[in-house]
Amino acid sequence: MFKLILHHTYEILGEAFDLSGYGNHGFRTSVPFQPNGMSANSGTLTFSGGPSRVQVIDKPVWGELAALKIEALVFLDNLGQRRNLVEGDSSFAFFIHPDGVLWGTYLGLAGTSTTPAWVGANSDVATSPDGIKRTVPLNKWTKLTYLHDGIATIRLYIDGQLVAINSTLRSGIRPVGGTGVHIGHWPGDDRYTFSGRIDEVKIWKYDPDVPDREFFCRLQDARQIDCWGRLFKQLADLLADREQGQRYGAFFACLWRAQTDFLRAIRSKGEEVIQELEKRGLAYIEIWCSDDLGGQAMQNYLTDWLKWVESVAPGALANYQKEIQGCIQEFKMEKVMITLGKEIAQCDPSFAALIQGMANQVGGGQLPPPQIQVTSVTPTQLTAGTAGTLTIKGANFTAATSVELQGVPGKLVTTLVSASELRATVPASVQAGQYPIHISDPAAGDNSAFTLTVVQASPSSLIDAIIKAILALIKSIFGRRS
């Protein structure tokens, strides 16, 4: 998931050479070198407050970080104020509070907020995993770790022990701003400079190539390789097409949001669930790479995985299915998906067997299908003796969805406009009264939350209308003219 993009050891005369291969060398200011750090000849830099810093200039690699991991080996010798460890301009911050509490934040979304703010976790009671406050020790070499998973969670560690966790995050790490990354110093000025020694700093970011490497770890024959190569080329051509590119790009963005929401629903359940999810992910990759996608091992894995997901995050998979279906319907991809499925089934039977196995597991009673939802019914009132049409809006309607008025024999004639809109004709024979509207689907449940009121037509109102029309006619013939 991660790739190393910065590694400073300060071993060679304290120079901030980057060993990661990404060229993120640092520029030193007021940080004397000492040869002995955490171990003999490991090299360390001394930060004495004020202008002491190592600054790494902004580069494209600091864009689209998403997930981020930081490790710093430090020797803290004084508190009294905030002590910065590593901070990316307008992006992320890793620091020690004046009371010794470890903080990790980022500029993004958390909880129900819709406005980006500096949010995260700290090792005080509120976001401690066990409610115990922990602090960074003074005058002791310590490894401090910051970990943002890019989806839902920030975790902080002191010497490998989890000391803080916040699983309410709703966005990844944004790109670093123009002043770059600052080690032991605040991007703004000298007020939060570190006091002590720093032996080593490592920073990792999300590696978008991991899914590709894992996908192609299978032992594929020439036909399968050609199949996927052709499909990926078609996808690239579609995304590059002026007319189709925007539609397909928005469709894949919709799928990505659905996947992120699904993972967030699981990963937000805490450290134990996160560790178990990662363990199960490794087990899946092992079976995937063996190319036994339709075999018993994969079927057993899917059965167990579905049960586990439902136990830790009830409804998450059903919601995921619903979101995916919503993406397909919103961008009118039904025919495209059917065509794609047929092509894959012909050229990569193993993958097709995996998809079929998943469908069997989910459709075989493991999880309920998405339930119908009704958000509005209009109009809410009709006049007796006059036929009318109800417009019903919601989600997960199908051709089998029916509409009835409680107390009125038979079902109403319905028209399925889309999965989110249904229309039902109310005959003129329905008498005045109040009728609960019963909307049901054999596979997706029912809903009776709305009521239709049918009012009696008033004879007097008709007579009044005739009288007014006659008076208007008389006035037009005999009335005063200017």
Report pLDDT for 262.
92
Label residue 141 by pLDDT band (50, 70, 90).
very high
Residue 54 and residue 35: Cα distance in Å, rounded?
A: 17
Report pLDDT for 467.
55
pTM score of the predicted model: 0.70
| DSSP string over 388-451 | EEEEEEEE---TT-EEEETTSSSPPEEEEEETTEEEEEEPTTPPSEEEEEEEEETTTEEEEEEE
Report pLDDT for 462.
46
Please say if the pLDDT value at position 335 is more than 50: yes
- 339 with 202, same domain: the answer is no
Cβ neighbors of 162 (< 8 A, separation 6 or more) are 129, 155, 156, 271
Report pLDDT for 240.
87
Report pLDDT for 458.
60
Q: Which residues pair with 95 in a beta bridge?
A: 84, 103
Q: Is 156 helix (H, G, I), strand (E, B) or coil?
A: strand
- Mean pLDDT along residues 272-292: 91
- 267 with 404, same domain: the answer is no
Could you give the C-alpha distances from 441 to 46, 312, 372, 377, 404, in angstroms and in order? 70, 28, 8, 17, 12
Report the range of poorest mean pLDDT among 108-112, 322-326, 466-470: 466-470
Please say if the pLDDT value at position 201 is more than 60: yes
Specify if 482 maps to a domain: no
- 308 with 244, same domain: the answer is yes
Report pLDDT for 112.
81
Which range in 81-90, 225-234, 360-369 is most confidently predicted, on average pLDDT? 81-90
- Mean pLDDT along residues 271-298: 90
**Beta carbons of 181 and 174 less than 8 angstroms apart:** no
Q: Rounded to the nearest 5 degrees, what angle is found at the Cα of 230, between the Cα atoms of 227 and 231?
A: 85
- 85 with 195, same domain: the answer is yes
Report pLDDT for 65.
94
Report the share of the chain in percent with pLDDT over 70.
93
Give the model confidence (pLDDT) of 46-64 as tens digits.
999 999 999 999 999 999 8
**Beta carbons of 183 and 138 less than 8 angstroms apart:** no
Report pLDDT for 226.
83
Please say if the pLDDT value at position 464 is more than 60: no
Residue 450 and residue 375: Cα distance in Å, rounded?
A: 9
- Mean pLDDT along residues 293-310: 89
Please say if the pLDDT value at position 477 is more than 60: no
- Mean pLDDT along residues 122-139: 96
Site of tokens 């004639």: 413
Q: Which domain holds residue 50?
A: 2-206
Give the model confidence (pLDDT) of 391-412 as tens digits.
998 877 888 899 999 999 999 9
Specify if 410 maps to a domain: yes
| Domain end point (choices 206, 225, 246) | 206
Give the model confidence (pLDDT) of 354-373 as tens digits.
887 777 776 544 444 556 77
Give the model confidence (pLDDT) of 443-460 as tens digits.
777 888 888 998 886 654
Report pLDDT for 469.
58
- 361 with 384, same domain: the answer is no
Could you give the C-alpha distances from 34 to 46, 139, 176, 359, in angstroms and in order? 7, 16, 30, 61
Residue 181 and residue 201: Cα distance in Å, rounded?
A: 12
Specify if 464 maps to a domain: no
- 158 with 30, same domain: the answer is yes
Q: Report the CATH number that the domain containing residue 420 is assigned in CATH.
A: 2.60.40.10
Residue 422 and residue 67: Cα distance in Å, rounded?
A: 42
- 28 with 71, same domain: the answer is yes
- Mean pLDDT along residues 326-337: 88
Specify if 86 maps to a domain: yes
- E strands of 39-134, at which residues? 44-48, 53-56, 68-76, 83-88, 92-96, 102-108, 117-122
Residue 339 and residue 231: Cα distance in Å, rounded?
A: 12
Could you give the C-alpha distances from 111 to 108, 116, 120, 256, 274, in angstroms and in order? 11, 11, 11, 20, 19
Specify if 152 maps to a domain: yes
- 359 with 333, same domain: the answer is yes
Report pLDDT for 482.
41
Report pLDDT for 366.
43
Helix (H) or strand (E) holding 164: strand 161-166
- Mean pLDDT along residues 206-228: 83
Q: Shortest CA distance to 348 belongs to which of 248, 212, 229? A: 229
- 153 with 258, same domain: the answer is no
Query: Positive or negative CA dihedral for 287, 293, 299, 303?
Result: positive
Q: Shortest CA distance to 377 belongs to which of 418, 344, 445, 423? A: 423
Specify if 39 maps to a domain: yes
**Beta carbons of 388 and 379 less than 8 angstroms apart:** yes
| Domain end point (choices 366, 395, 430) | 366
Residue 473 and residue 214: Cα distance in Å, rounded?
A: 83
- Mean pLDDT along residues 411-426: 91
Label residue 156 by pLDDT band (50, 70, 90).
very high
- Which two tokens mark 379? 């109009």
Specify if 481 maps to a domain: no
- 122 with 266, same domain: the answer is no
Residue 382 and residue 378: Cα distance in Å, rounded?
A: 10
Label residue 219 by pLDDT band (50, 70, 90).
confident
Q: Rounded to the nearest 5 degrees, what angle is found at the Cα of 448, between the Cα atoms of 443 and 451?
A: 145
Q: How many residues are present in the chain?
A: 482
Average pLDDT, the chain: 88
Please say if the pLDDT value at position 353 is more than 60: yes
The number of distinct structural domains making up the chain is 3
- 393 with 442, same domain: the answer is yes
- 202 with 277, same domain: the answer is no
Specify if 69 maps to a domain: yes
Report pLDDT for 481.
44
Please say if the pLDDT value at position 194 is more than 60: yes
Report pLDDT for 369.
53
Residue 71 and residue 106: Cα distance in Å, rounded?
A: 16
| Domain end point (choices 366, 387, 412) | 366
Q: Report the CATH number that the domain containing residue 195 is assigned in CATH.
A: 2.60.120.200
